[in-house]
């Protein structure tokens, strides 16, 4: 097949999953054309069957806000015509799904089916905004097929947007071989001193991630256990987190690394992964930590209970309950046998339930059904 994949190029879950899917499809023999306004952070050109097309949004004095959705629709038409795309798979409802539906209409009578994958904030944040609600619903309902990354998100889409169509749940996935802790790489330990336990947080540092909670939890951990916190990622709340570290006097024990395309290099060998989000439609970072054999302490919200099994692969605690999350973290760090049990179960769950090959096969099967009409 010749497949177009449109996504955001950022380090967030939607861009990461779309990129990993594109590379896996191309490795399996499909020709894949990735479209975005910048090169996706994890995209690698590992074979001659993967291509990248930049979506340029010209700036004119007439436009206070350049119409990026129209630029994407135009680029989709261009690539579909000249590369002979069989279908386009867009990640994120707005504007990607709407742009793809417009491109499909522009190409008629040539057929270009549209598959849309919903990732979370396109529904729970942007889609819930009255300024985008009707547009988001239109893009979803006019797609030829729609998937969601969790059962929680499927239900939220139907409830919050009033969508009345079939939405298939295809979980996010992980390449277990890439995240294998047995590979012998130094990973997270390279930032730690001898005797320090390593705690890791990965996110885009947006308010929904509650990164100040991460710092507060770590302060409690650090008071009882020699430890280091690795803060991987970047975003609007990074400065707030750095200031909180200064206020608490624990800056020497916290390392802000910034964005890492090979995020496993900051996870493998860690003792604990913290995810304190207000909500998560899936929780890809938690899954990747589990694949690295790292126990997870996360908030009991959104789709996270579909990823992390409380008491089996980590612990889930209420949003904002810093004390409870700190106690759960310390229970793991102070009990090596418990830590080993959670790590092994998490690794096994990541490698089986969220296997990359199985997820890619489900997407391929969906494409074939759509192409068959």
The number of C-alpha atoms within 13 Å of 206 and in the hemisphere containing its C-beta is 11
CATH code of the domain covering residue 117: 3.40.50.2000
Q: Mark whether 11 and 139 lie in a shared domain.
A: yes
Q: Mark whether 24 and 102 lie in a shared domain.
A: yes
Q: Mark whether 250 and 296 lie in a shared domain.
A: yes
Domains of the chain: total? 2
Domain that holds residue 64: 2-173+355-371
pLDDT of 8: 86
Q: Mark whether 291 and 202 lie in a shared domain.
A: yes
Q: Mark whether 254 and 366 lie in a shared domain.
A: no
Q: Mark whether 254 and 343 lie in a shared domain.
A: yes
Q: Mark whether 208 and 294 lie in a shared domain.
A: yes
Q: Are 234 and 260 in contact (CB under 8 A)?
A: no
Q: What is the pTM of this model?
A: 0.93
3-state secondary structure of 31: strand
Residue 296 to residue 276: CA distance in whole angstroms:
11
Residue 104 to residue 4: CA distance in whole angstroms:
12
| Six-digit token string for 93 | 């409802």
Residue 161 to residue 308: CA distance in whole angstroms:
27
Decide: residue 239, CB within 10 A, 0-12 exposed, 13-18 middle, 19+ buried: exposed
Q: Mark whether 337 and 364 lie in a shared domain.
A: no
Give helix then strand counts, H and E, for the chain. Answer: 13, 13
Q: Mark whether 166 and 29 lie in a shared domain.
A: yes
pLDDT of 186: 84
Per-residue pLDDT tens, the chain, 373 aa: give them: 999 999 988 767 788 999 999 999 999 999 999 999 998 888 888 889 999 999 998 887 777 777 788 999 999 999 999 999 999 999 988 889 999 999 999 999 999 999 999 998 777 777 677 888 898 999 999 999 999 999 999 999 999 888 989 999 999 999 999 999 887 778 999 999 999 999 999 999 999 999 999 999 999 999 999 999 999 999 999 999 999 999 999 999 999 999 998 899 999 999 999 999 999 999 999 999 999 999 999 999 999 999 999 999 999 999 999 999 999 999 999 999 999 999 999 999 999 999 999 999 999 999 999 999 8
Q: Mark whether 152 and 115 lie in a shared domain.
A: yes
Q: Mark whether 17 and 85 lie in a shared domain.
A: yes
């Amino acid at each position: 097949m010749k497949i177009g994949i449109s996504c955001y190029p950022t380090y967030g879950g939607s861009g990461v999953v779309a990129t990993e899917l594109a590379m896996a499809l191309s490795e399996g023999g499909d020709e894949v054309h990735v479209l975005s306004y910048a090169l996706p952070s994890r995209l690698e050109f590992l074979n001659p069957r993967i291509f990248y097309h930049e979506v340029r949004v010209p700036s004119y004095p007439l436009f206070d806000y350049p119409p990026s959705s129209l630029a994407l629709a135009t680029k989709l038409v261009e690539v579909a015509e000249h590369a002979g795309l069989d279908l386009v798979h867009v990640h994120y409802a707005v504007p990607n799904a709407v742009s793809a539906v417009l491109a499909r209409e522009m190409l008629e009578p040539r057929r270009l089916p549209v598959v849309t994958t919903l990732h979370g904030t396109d529904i729970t944040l942007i889609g819930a905004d009255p300024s985008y609600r009707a547009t988001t619903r239109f893009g979803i309902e006019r797609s030829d097929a729609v998937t969601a990354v969790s059962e929680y998100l499927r239900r939220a889409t139907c409830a919050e947007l009033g969508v009345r169509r079939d939405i298939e749940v295809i979980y996010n996935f992980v390449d277990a071989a890439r995240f294998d802790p047995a590979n012998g790489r130094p990973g997270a330990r390279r930032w730690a001193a001898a005797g320090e336990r390593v705690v890791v947080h990965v996110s885009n540092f947006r308010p929904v991630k509650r990164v100040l909670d991460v710092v507060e939890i770590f302060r409690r951990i650090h008071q009882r256990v020699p430890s280091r916190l690795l803060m991987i990622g970047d975003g609007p709340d990074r400065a707030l987190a750095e200031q909180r570290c200064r206020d608490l006097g624990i800056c020497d024990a916290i390392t802000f690394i910034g964005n890492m395309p090979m995020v496993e290099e900051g996870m493998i060998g860690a003792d604990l992964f913290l995810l304190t989000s207000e909500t998560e439609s899936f929780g890809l970072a938690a899954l990747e930590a589990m694949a690295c054999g790292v126990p997870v302490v996360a908030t009991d919200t959104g789709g996270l209970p579909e990823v992390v099994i409380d008491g089996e692969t980590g612990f889930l605690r209420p949003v904002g309950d810093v004390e409870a999350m700190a106690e759960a973290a310390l229970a793991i760090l102070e009990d090596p046998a418990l830590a080993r049990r959670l790590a092994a179960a998490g690794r096994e769950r990541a490698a089986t339930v969220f296997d990359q090959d199985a997820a890619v096969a489900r997407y391929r099967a969906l494409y074939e059904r759509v192409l068959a009409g």
